[in-house]
Structure 1
């Protein structure tokens, strides 16, 4: 008897969760459809998906089998296997949000319209995008991470750490809420100007703390670069000479010169990072950087620059 009662409770709970997820999906669908409609108007493309689902446990949603087409000619532009968004909240600033786009690929029709000297390997490969934003409400710090993978070509990683981001988060939330409340997802000119003003004010409060950019070969990076150079009428040796000449004319640190030179020669990996002084806002740091532009080694010390290439 106890087993039957437990089974009944579990079944009811599962059924309740399933219904809650279904209800959440319907609400999310309304928001997504409105945002897609607004994006289509702005970009001139039609975006359609075959399925959408949402989960109440991690505030996540997934779009599947997405197609992007030209709104005028109706010709397909690209396809996407899926887009996953996690941590999204309509009326609050979440501590973590994630975005994953899987297998973005341009259509054959779109590729056929590219100029003959286009880099076909880079254009025809598939792309994965993975990004996240972590926000600490107590400290006001935020960490943004982005990874873009061009299948069999290269991985590109970008990371940014910021302090005093609360005002920016609040402005972003207000802008999102205003757009969701708009009848057609379109803001009036006055509303756009208001949001831009709030965003600009919030940006002035930011304190950049650290930044990192890295590139890693996934097998075909050299072939892609050489194909691009050939289309420009240049060999790889000529390219190396041009880069070396430009590096002599630009005031950059020896460490960065070595990293760039090694990367141009090997096209295997490249990484550059900076750790900025705490307690300094964007404007103050920019002013200091401008003052040190003619002193590359001093500038490298100021921003704690580290670079490597192979």
Structure 2
């Protein structure tokens, strides 16, 4: 019985310690967030308010809740239910980092003042955004994911796998540290040029391994497309006919043509994926692709291209 009491006491102390650490972390993060938002406000004139902020030491996460964005004139621009960053480490590139925005939505009055050609459905929609980076320092491989969901309308997903990305990650970390050290002081032209050169050199070493993206109907994609076509004096049926005519002349395989035609008819989902040859940089892949223009069958084989639509 005494052993159970001792174990319970240790657990309680541990939980209490973590809770206190989270509290301290939250206070430190709040100060940093307020500092960064003040800098953005100074640059843009916009005002950012939020109701809550919390930080977790264990998951290395920060969450901001109920944020409001206000224009320099004092008008409400947008509201965001929550923003969460997980895995961020200012001193290292974490094995997993993610950024999530939930329920971003423009204020109705602000949306009404957007340019006349702005799509009303997209202007009034609520958005979720997810992006993540998985990085293996030993192999230098990384995977980037981006997901954007216009609720009840359409969602977009992208996934890209990269090899030999260590130089880019190191460059990103070096730039981040330089900006932190600079504080409120803007970087000099020479410093900005050095950073751009560093990034360009690192990107030239990247080796794309795979890439995929997909578009999925979340309920009102057909209505969205119809409203955009109407502005051009077209209907969905006319768009389908025009697509069929263009595909007859386009240098694409029969499978790709059928996938595009199926998507135009169904407007349910469309996806593209490719697995690229190993050991080739992005520039080398692009050069080879340019050589295969007009040879759709060979191009499909070279990048293992798959296109699906319905």
- Shared topology, TM-score over 0.5? yes
Give the whole-Å Cα distance in 2 for the aligned partners of 1:226 and 1:68.
31
Distance 1:167 1:34, change over 3 A: farther
Do structure 1's residue 89 and structure 2's residue 89 form an aligned pair?
Answer: yes
Q: What are the within-5 Å matches in structure 2 for residues 127-276 of structure 1? A: 127-184=127-184, 186-276=186-276
Distance 1:167 1:44, change over 3 A: farther
4+ residue stretches of structure 1 with deviation over 6 A? none
SS of 2:143's equivalent? strand
Give the whole-Å Cα distance in 2 for the aligned partners of 1:298 and 1:289.
10
Give the whole-Å Cα distance in 1 for the aligned partners of 2:244 and 2:274.
23
Do structure 1's residue 309 and structure 2's residue 294 form an aligned pair?
Answer: no
1:293 positional shift? 1.3
TM-score by length of 1: 0.93
- The aligned residue for residue 17 of structure 2 is 16
SS of 1:139's equivalent? coil
- The aligned residue for residue 278 of structure 1 is 278
Give the whole-Å Cα distance in 1 for the aligned partners of 2:250 and 2:70.
43
1:123 positional shift? 1.6
Instruction: Give the number of aligned pairs.
Output: 309
Give the whole-Å Cα distance in 1 for the aligned partners of 2:155 and 2:214.
8
Structure 1: stretches of 5+ with no match in the other structure = none
1:154 positional shift? 1.4
Structure 1 contact 79–107 (Cα < 8 Å) conserved = yes
Do structure 1's residue 121 and structure 2's residue 121 form an aligned pair?
Answer: yes
Distance 1:187 1:76, change over 3 A: farther
Structure 2: stretches of 5+ with no match in the other structure = none
SS of 1:84's equivalent? strand
TM-score by length of 2: 0.93
- Give RMSD over aligned pairs: 1.9
1:187 positional shift? 2.9
Give the whole-Å Cα distance in 2 for the aligned partners of 1:80 and 1:128.
10
- The aligned residue for residue 64 of structure 2 is 63
1:180 positional shift? 2.1
Give the whole-Å Cα distance in 2 for the aligned partners of 1:59 and 1:225.
41
Q: Deviations over 1:24-63 (max 9, x none)?
A: 1222233333433444455553332222111010111101
